[in-house]
Structure 1
Amino acid sequence: MYHRLLLLATILLLFSCKKKAGCDIPDEIERILVSVEIERLEKPFFAADSKQDVAAFLDGNPVFAERFIQRKNYPSDSAVINALYSLATNPELQKLEQEADETFGDMAAEKEQLETAFKHIKYYYPEFKEPQVKTFVSGLNQDLLVSDSLLVFGIDFFVGKDASYRPDTYDYILKRYERPNMVPAAMLLLSNRFNKTNFLERSLLAEMVNTGKAYYFVKSIMPCAPDSTIIGYSGQQLADVHHNEGRIWAHFVEKKLLYEKSPFVVNKYIGERPNTPEIDPTSPGRLGTWVGWQIVRRYMERNPKVTLQELMAEDDHQKIFNESKYKPEKR
């Protein structure tokens, strides 16, 4: 049976104390210089009064136009200009842009989060060059773009539950489209650049550990971010999975699932689902990724000399699992 906990007591136990203990940034990281300027591209875009203005906007932002707008996918320049002009002059989309502006303001919080994350990345990877950071309102067309040189936040996705228009997706996914989750979600995508994996190994355990490494990376570069914003669980869900960790693990072991390679089975525990009924109807989806995170955490706790770079470069998931000695007990 999957047991639930009272949220208040658990949040105080799991998160409040951790935040006090884990949010101090070491001086050697704090003094690293990074440059973060968030360019709000939706402002000049929605100020366009003509198709000529839209053309000038595209020409003035060539990398953004190529990667986020995907300009080359249109049959002609006139086609992309006409499409974007229709967006820029759409009253409902203009309203959504205003709501996004009211929600995010000067984005000082996001700027601080990105500075902290980039400082940590530079500490571990001195060759890292922070990408340009831009925002846009695309009419809920794209939420995030992360590349080596460009990071774009589709902020209309993250306005929140009071927005006039929300992403067309399932409710359990929609709950993750909130402002506090935006930067952690981008850093999770950025982790792919550093996360070495064995693409030939597709077992459930391999997928669990690979994703666990990604979550661990984000927590390492954003130490003040609550775990809930990194994995996309609610506080109650996170409290419940911690309390039921032993029962969850027992399910994987007793059902002999760790080395299962069937994509259908693996996806039950790794892919997007509203819950994991195989364990309990009230348990959240993607439980395998959460367990993978705990395996990686245990591995790093038991191997304090292993650096973040070494962890991310380690593609032997079996080694990480074995040396973690992960074996939570049922409560």
Structure 2
Amino acid sequence: MEAQYGLVFIVKRFCSIFLLLGVLASCGETDTTEKEIAKIPLELRLTRFDVEFDNAKPENLADLKGRYPYLFPEQYPDSIWLAKMSDSLQIVLRTEVRERFSDFDQEAADLASLYKHVLYYFTDYKAPQVFTVTNDVAYQDRIMATDSILFISLDNYLGPDHEFYGSFPRFIAQGLDKEFLISDVASAVGNTLTPRPKDRSFLAQMIYYGKLLYIKDKIIPFETDANKIGYSEDQLAWVRANEEPIWRNFIENEYLYSTDNKLMPRFLDPAPFSKFGLELDNQSPGRVGRYIGWQIVRAYMEKNDISLPQMLNLSAEEIFKESNYKPKK
């Protein structure tokens, strides 16, 4: 018995050593990658248009339109913009934004880091020109991206308890905080890089969102997992603790290959909680299916030597089968 115990102890000790060596090697690779990324030349083109518009007088409108024609759609007459300049509610909104974002240095540094990471993994990518604006708290459009321009509507990042958001559902207001700004930009970037699945199955949709979240692992590694997915730390702790029963629920109910559209709002769309049809539903955060998809993609990437762009073009089925995903009990 003593010999057997000693053998088990030695085996466990060697396993621990190999695991530690693996972790150290991974950390070394990460440090090397981050040093290479930091050296990538990038001049962030950032314009605080919200400040420029707030400072402008009616006589400056023509100059603003001349410098930023894409911000003044032709179908809107000058009277619209002149009214915005003098409207008392608009002035309050712009004042709140200016106070909350009087210093944008950290956000600018994080944006530059984000785009350097994108350029490292996607060498043909061209970083867009970034404009900060206001959009009357239209939170669905708080980040707007085209091939060459990115708009950040700062009036959607004043903090979850701000009076502007008093009529919003709590799960929506939770995300209207500056701590999620960079993560939201990463979402917009990911959307431009990730093909939409033609497969309508629940599994394909989960893995699509998993891909978007995995992109965040790579382009904003400085953000927490909670920020990446838009959870509080308590919500993230809940899904981590319940990952195995969530997965078991999906398997037992044969959801993976279902094309039932009702599964999307239950487990993938923004919501106050996920809808398992159980008493514990209101303890859960929404979008748990996205979290599961994220873990499947992570499991796949840990086991396969493949580039990020290549992975994004793989089918959900291939990623799922080769991930050997199995959450811990």
Partner of 2:21: none
CA distance in 2, matches of 1:106, 1:126: 31
Partner of 1:138: 135
> Alignment identity in percent?
29
The answer to whether the 8 A contact 1:147-1:190 is kept is: no
CA distance in 1, matches of 2:285, 2:151: 29
For residue 33 of structure 1, the aligned residue among 5, 26, 41 is 41
SS in 1 for 2:144: strand
The one-letter code matched in structure 1 to 2:228 is I
CA distance in 2, matches of 1:49, 1:194: 40
Q: Which has the higher helix share?
A: 2
Q: Which digits, 9 at most, give the CA deviation of each residue in 1:261-320, with x for residues without a partner?
A: 0112233111122111315321111111110000000000111x1111111222x10000
CA distance in 1, matches of 2:164, 2:84: 15
SS in 2 for 1:148: coil
Alignment of structure 1 residues 315-326 onto 2, 5 Å: 316-326=315-325
For residue 249 of structure 2, the aligned residue among 243, 251, 274 is 251
CA distance in 2, matches of 1:324, 1:167: 43
Q: Which digits, 9 at most, give the CA deviation of each residue in 1:132-168, with x for residues without a partner?
A: 0110123224411111111111001101135342385
**Stretches of structure 2 lacking an aligned partner (at least 5 in a row):** 1-26
Q: Which digits, 9 at most, give the CA deviation of each residue in 1:223-258, with x for residues without a partner?
A: 011111111111000011101111110010011101
TM-score when normalising by structure 2: 0.84
For residue 93 of structure 1, the aligned residue among 90, 93, 101 is 90
CA distance in 2, matches of 1:32, 1:227: 25
Moved more, 185-194 or 173-182: 185-194
The one-letter code matched in structure 2 to 1:219 is D
TM-score when normalising by structure 1: 0.84
- Structural RMSD (CA): 2.1
SS in 2 for 1:135: strand
SS in 2 for 1:198: coil
The answer to whether the 8 A contact 2:51-2:98 is kept is: no
Runs of 4+ in 1 over 4 A off after TM superposition: 21-25
SS in 2 for 1:263: coil
SS in 1 for 2:131: strand
Larger gyration radius, structure 1 or structure 2: 2
The answer to whether the 8 A contact 1:140-1:167 is kept is: no
Partner of 2:259: 261
CA distance in 2, matches of 1:198, 1:284: 25
The answer to whether the 8 A contact 2:267-2:289 is kept is: yes
Moved more, 133-142 or 27-36: 133-142
Q: Which structure has more RCO (C-alpha within 8 Å, separation ≥ 6)?
A: 1
**Stretches of structure 1 lacking an aligned partner (at least 5 in a row):** 1-20, 66-70
The number of aligned residues is 297
CA distance in 2, matches of 1:164, 1:266: 31
The answer to whether the 8 A contact 1:203-1:266 is kept is: no
SS in 1 for 2:262: helix
